[in-house]
Amino acid sequence: MKLKSTIGVASTLAVLVGAMIVWYTVTAATGWVSPARFPHPAETWQSFVAIATNGYGNGKLHQHVLNSLKLVAMGFGVAVLVGVPLGLLMGYSRKAEALLNPAFLLLRPIPPLAWIPLAIVWLGLEDASKVLVIFVAAFVPSVINSYAGVRQIEAPILEAADMLGIRGLTFVREVLVPGSLPSIFTGLRLSLQASWTTLVAAELIGALYGLGSILNQAAQDIYPAMILVAMIFVGLCGASTTWLLGELERRAMPWRRQWGAQ
Amino acid sequence: MSEITFTNVSRSFERDGNMFLAVDSVSLTVRDREFVAIVGPSGCGKTTCMRMAAGLEFPTAGQVTVSGKEVISPGPDRAVVFQQFALFPWKTVSENIDFGLRAKGLDEAERRRIVEHNIALMNLRGYETAFPHQLSGGMQQRVAIARAYALDPDVLLMDEPFGALDAQTRVVMQEELVKLARLNPRTVLFITHAVDEAVYLADRVVIMTSRPGKIKEILDVKAVRDAENWDQHSRIEDVMDLASFVHLRTRIWKSLREEHAGDDH
């Protein structure tokens, strides 16, 4: 296990260093790619320092990052809090499924970004409209995968719970939820990805702060190095929140972890 | 007194718009503390019979009662040991055994006593905190049996509980079950397609016909077992060598073979 993770870290580092060398070679060292199209490593670093210390757009880097994180956390959080229970209910109750499934069949094919105009009409250009769009994007995968999770619980397990007299809240907490958990987490991962994608798109359309607003501003200023900085930070934010979710998943399902270790 | 009675029980299924009769007018009484095994060709409806006693399925005609009451739902008074074990993968061995006791509302000291007792009984000491998939199939099935025994049920319903085990493990489990059954007799309905197993374990063996499943004949194994004193042998192979065992087994085999021959037409 130790050895494996060491190899993992080493190969990640090697790829990063390799990419840096290639990047440096094709831009700064040889000039194959013009700096007007793609910035040098040094330029990018300077842009990073500039936005981190003096700010760019309407704020410093950490303000943009925190604002984006805040919107994602709110939209994703509400989507999960509403979506997972709703999905579990649809999976367990035929009535709830019959009632809600047609609505989902209609909603699913609508791209989350198609909600942006309506969100702006309803809530204006402020944060609220972005949270709404993120919510819509994150909601569907949470519901669908929780619903599928319940359906994946083997019939004998539900019958065993019935036979043992497990009812009500105990049944939900100790049978329905843990049984659906692998699929619920699949849904959360998809929801989180959808949240970041949607956030950046929503911020591109109009925002005071946020990583998307940097991209928008830098495009208008024709400032490729700053565009790259913003893109890198979108990637870092997405990757680190996904990693956090993975850690949570590992902790939430100890019975799976020990299986993997065998 | 906990008897299982089937009175003229039939069960049909709908498949692709056609009705299939799975169980055809079965009448059977499993007496208090009697161990009855049902054998029959696959698809003969023997599992359906067990599931109707469990309350997991219901007759389309006739009536199933346990302890005089019509079966309307599953319940801890009729513990089921499923063929595929059906343990909760997210619960440890102890938690799996304890789960039904919690639902019964027993206090913690009592529950701990019962869990420990059944863990010892089923030779699971040292595995209390293991998760089911860390155990072999035989051990998982012992947990499933411990979970059923812990409920202290009036009735034990077992659906080919050793079907998924390898031959050696199955023999060990069969010997253990005989010991438990003689030590603490309960009303047991045991479903199997293994003739040896049925004769070795049961007081009476019910032979079912191929679909639609009817009762073909019922053999009184206990009379022979007591007369020939099978229980003086603790090993299954010694019992299986006895002429009286071989005789019964052969009779059931012949009876079942007629059913399989019937399948070919």
pLDDT at B18: 85
Mean pLDDT of A2-11: 80
Q: How far is A104 from chain B (nearest CA, A)?
A: 29
Q: Scanning every residue of chain B, which has its alpha carbon at the shortest distance from the alpha carbon of A156?
A: B86
For residue B103, which amino acid is it? A
Query: B73, B97, B99: best mutation site toward chain A, by most A Cβ within 10 Å?
Result: B99
What is the longest distance spanned by two Cα atoms in chain A? 74
Q: Which two tokens stand for residue A199?
A: 């956030």
Chain B residue numbers touching A169 (CB-CB < 8 A): none
The verdict on a CB contact (< 8 Å) between B86 and A175 is no
| B20-30 pLDDT tens trace | 888 888 999 99
CB contact under 8 A, B89 and A255: yes
Same domain, A160 and A205: yes
- Closest chain A CA to residue B57: A159
Total domains in chain A come to 2
CA A230 to chain CA mean position, Å: 16
In terms of domains, do A20 and A44 share one? Answer: no
Q: Are residues A4 and A129 in the same domain?
A: no
Residue A126 banded pLDDT, cuts 50, 70, 90? confident
CA distances for B212 relative to A62, A92, B198, angstroms: 73, 33, 21
For chain B, strand residue ranges (E) read 4-15, 18-30, 35-39, 61-66, 69-70, 78-81, 155-159, 187-191, 204-208, 215-220
What's the full length of chain A, in residues? 262
A-B C-beta contacts closer than 8 Å: 69
- First-to-last C-alpha distance (Å) of chain B: 44
CB spacing of A160 vs B103 below 8 angstroms: no
**Best of B84, B88, B96 to disrupt the A interface by mutation (most A CBs within 10 Å)?**
B88
Same domain? A19 vs A134: no
Q: What is the mean pLDDT of residues B96-107?
A: 93
pLDDT in the model for residue B176: 82
- pLDDT tens-digit series, residues A35-50: 778 888 888 899 999 8
Mean pLDDT of A194-223: 88
User: Using a CB-CB distance cutoff of 8 angstroms, which residues of chain B are in contact with residue A259?
Assistant: 131, 133-134
Quote the CA–CA distance of B53 and B47 in Å, as a whole number: 10
B80: nearest CA partner in chain A? A163
Q: What is the pLDDT of residue B50?
A: 93
- A245 and A204 both lie in a single domain: yes
Spatial separation of the C-alpha atoms in residues A1 and B150, rounded to whole Å: 39
Count of Cβ atoms closer than 10 Å to residue B5 Cβ: 18
B254: burial class by Cβ within 10 Å (0-12, 13-18, 19+)?
Answer: exposed
- Confidence grade of residue A205 (pLDDT, cut at 50, 70, 90): confident
Residues A237 and A110 in one domain: yes
Say yes or no for a CB contact (<8 Å) between B56 and A165: no
Q: A22 is written with which tokens?
A: 């290639």
Residue range A224-252: average pLDDT?
A: 93
Q: Are B67 and B18 in contact (CB under 8 A)?
A: no
Residue B90 has pLDDT above 80, yes or no: yes
Q: What is the DSSP letter of B227?
A: H
Percent of chain B's residues with pLDDT above 70: 98
Of residues B230 and B157, more confidently modeled: B157
pLDDT single digits (tens) B219-228: 998 888 888 8
Q: Cβ contacts (< 8 Å) between B80 and chain A: which residues?
A: 159-160, 163
pLDDT at B85 over 70: yes
Mean pLDDT over the full length of chain A: 89
Per-residue confidence (pLDDT) for residue B234, from 0 to 100: 78
A window 74-113, beta carbon within 8 A of B: none
Q: Are residues A13 and A58 in the same domain?
A: no
pLDDT digits (tens, 9 = 90+) for A147-186: 999 999 999 999 999 999 999 999 999 999 999 999 999 9
| pLDDT reading at A262 higher than 50 | no
Considering the domain architecture, whether residues A99 and A124 belong to the same structural domain is answered as yes
What integer is the mean pLDDT of B83-110? 93
- Residue B263 confidence (pLDDT): 53
Closest CB from B76, B133, B134 relative to A165: B76
Contact yes or no for B57/B22 (Cβ under 8 A): no
pTM: 0.83
Chain A residue with the nearest C-alpha to that of B55: A163
Where is mean pLDDT largest: A25-29, B67-71, B171-175? Answer: B67-71
Same domain, A214 and A190: yes
Helices assigned H by DSSP within chain A: 2-24, 41-53, 61-92, 94-107, 116-123, 127-152, 155-164, 168-171, 177-205, 211-220, 224-252, 254-261
Smallest Cβ–Cβ distance between B103 and the set A166, A178, A259 belongs to: A166
- pLDDT value of residue A227: 92
pLDDT exceeds cutoff 60 at A259: no
Q: Reply yes or no on whether the pLDDT at B81 is more than 60.
A: yes
Query: Given a cut of 80, is residue A1 above it in pLDDT?
Result: no
Query: What is the architecture of the domain spanning B1-72+194-265?
Result: 3-Layer(aba) Sandwich (3.40)
> Does B133 contact A181 at a Cβ distance shorter than 8 Å?
no
Domain range spanning residue A2? Answer: 1-33
DSSP reduced 3-state for A40? coil
